[in-house]
Structure 1
Amino acid sequence: MNAPLEGIGMTSRRTRLRLVQRLREAGIESDRVLEIIGQVPRHIFLDEALSHRAYEDTSLPIGYGQTLSQPYIVARMTELLLAHEPERVLELGTGSGYQTAVLSQAFREIFSVERIKPLQDRARERLRQLNIRNAMLKHADGGMGWPEKGPFEGIIVTAAPVEVPRELLDQLADGGVLIAPVGEENQVLVEIIRRGDSFERRELEPVRFVPLLGGVVR
């Protein structure tokens, strides 16, 4: 989907492969997703003080009250999207850019929205370092999506709304899939497929994400 990743020699291949094996044992079945996880250097998406924990299967702080999602949930959400073979994917919550980098290797075009400008600036630089050219970034309120670039065959939400905003459902192409954590105290990962004017919803598994907030932060 993209040019070969650059700048991944800072950690051993063996370390990344151990993470891949843990994800396989945890239930990730897609060989393509596991291959991508093994290629994307998670450590560059963290501050240096935390980079030694990059290949643990855990979420880690990235500042501004946000987190880098645990590799399992990144792989799981990517696997769910990949099953529907979308070409154009909208990501809400660029964060560190790690999920964006993973998506860029699986799909033709990525459109990623981030409300916190300093996080977006860092993510943009990290993606540039990896020579990722099929991801377009926007500084905006993620809950509103990116309507002028829609419709999208796939939408992935990396922060939890209480309910999926109608604006996002309207940007989903017919037959497209939306993957999102939903809820407040008790969050669940949901899959929503658009069928014309109706939406099929399936609840998958308990998750824990930061809440989806409105308003841009400069």
Structure 2
Amino acid sequence: MNIDFARTRETMVEQQVRPWDVLDVRVLDTIGKLPREAFVADDLRNLAYADVELPLGHGQVMMKPVLEGRLLQSLQPQAHESVLEIGTGSGYLTACLGQLAREVISIELHADLADAAQARLAAQAIGNVQVRCADVLSWNPGRSFDVICVTGAMDSLPARFVEWLNPNGRMFIVHGQSPVMDAVLVHRTVNGSRIETLFETDLSYLAGAAPAPAFTL
């Protein structure tokens, strides 16, 4: 079956992403041009623009396009800014961030996902992104960033991630317990941080960041 991916991509933007109040021109232009099908497994290419999560292996998933659009619009990465992405996954969101920001460092726990994402990014000639294989829960960047994007949910907000933000930096993160979680934007301020609640969603947990199982009698 031959799929017109350009037309399908346009339909995704107009019928999925834009109706979910994603109206930022730079974000719409980025996801409207970047070939999402190039970042999914061959047997899933026909679902690259569907309103569904796509499996990546290791219990991880590729976000729905609408959530990726809202995330990018919330963070508003600028052309002069540095980004830390926690959870590379397929590399698609990494590529979007690379198109919008000056540089991106992306951390992926699983070596096979990291290698595949780096290859996909290279194939798209996106050269301002570094994918590193590490466990972010025990990793330290040794520097700070303007933007942090956490692509997996966490049980609670991690203070150590906030410390990696530059003054006036912001972090997108989903936290709470499934099936109702809060997507928030954490702003680094002079006196600490400020939390802006964005919307409710449900997202797979970052590896090692799920809540402890509840004890029941």
Could you state the TM-score of these two structures normalised by the residue count of structure 1? 0.88
Q: Does 1:89 align with 2:87?
A: no
Q: Does 1:166 align with 2:159?
A: yes
Q: 1:113 aligns with which of 89, 101, 107?
A: 107
Aligned residue identity for 2:165: L
Runs of 4+ in 1 over 4 A off after TM superposition: 83-86
Q: 2:205 aligns with which of 188, 200, 211?
A: 211
Structure 1 residue 86, shift from structure 2 partner? 6.3
- State the distance in 2 between where 1:84 and 1:203 align: 21
- State the distance in 2 between where 1:37 and 1:145 align: 30
Counterpart of 1:58 in 2: which secondary structure? Answer: coil
Aligned to 1:6: none
Aligned residue identity for 2:107: V
Aligned to 1:7: none
- State the distance in 1 between where 2:191 and 2:135 align: 25
Counterpart of 1:147 in 2: which secondary structure? Answer: coil
Counterpart of 2:116 in 1: which secondary structure? Answer: helix
Q: 1:32 to 1:50 in 2, by over 3 A?
A: same
Structure 1 residue 85, shift from structure 2 partner? 7.0
- State the distance in 1 between where 2:192 and 2:183 align: 19
Structure 1 residue 212, shift from structure 2 partner? 1.7
- State the distance in 2 between where 1:145 and 1:94 align: 15
- State the distance in 2 between where 1:180 and 1:88 align: 17
Aligned to 1:28: 22
Aligned residue identity for 2:149: I
Q: Does 1:191 align with 2:198?
A: no
Q: 1:46 aligns with which of 40, 48, 65?
A: 40
Counterpart of 1:94 in 2: which secondary structure? Answer: coil
- State the distance in 2 between where 1:166 and 1:42 align: 33
Asked whether the equivalents of residues 60 and 69 of structure 1 are also in contact (C-alpha less than 8 Å), the reply is yes
Aligned to 2:213: none
Structure 1 residue 47, shift from structure 2 partner? 1.2
Counterpart of 1:38 in 2: which secondary structure? Answer: helix
Asked whether the equivalents of residues 113 and 145 of structure 1 are also in contact (C-alpha less than 8 Å), the reply is no
How many residue pairs end up in the alignment? 205
Structure 1 residue 142, shift from structure 2 partner? 2.4
Asked whether the equivalents of residues 92 and 145 of structure 1 are also in contact (C-alpha less than 8 Å), the reply is no
Aligned to 2:129: 135
- Between the aligned residues of both structures, percent identity stands at 33
Asked whether the equivalents of residues 84 and 176 of structure 1 are also in contact (C-alpha less than 8 Å), the reply is no
Flag structure 2 segments of 5+ consecutive residues without an equivalent: 210-217
Aligned to 1:16: 9
Tell me which moved more, 118-127 or 194-203: 194-203
- State the distance in 2 between where 1:103 and 1:42 align: 13
Flag structure 1 segments of 5+ consecutive residues without an equivalent: 1-9
Could you state the TM-score of these two structures normalised by the residue count of structure 2? 0.89
- State the distance in 1 between where 2:138 and 2:79 align: 24
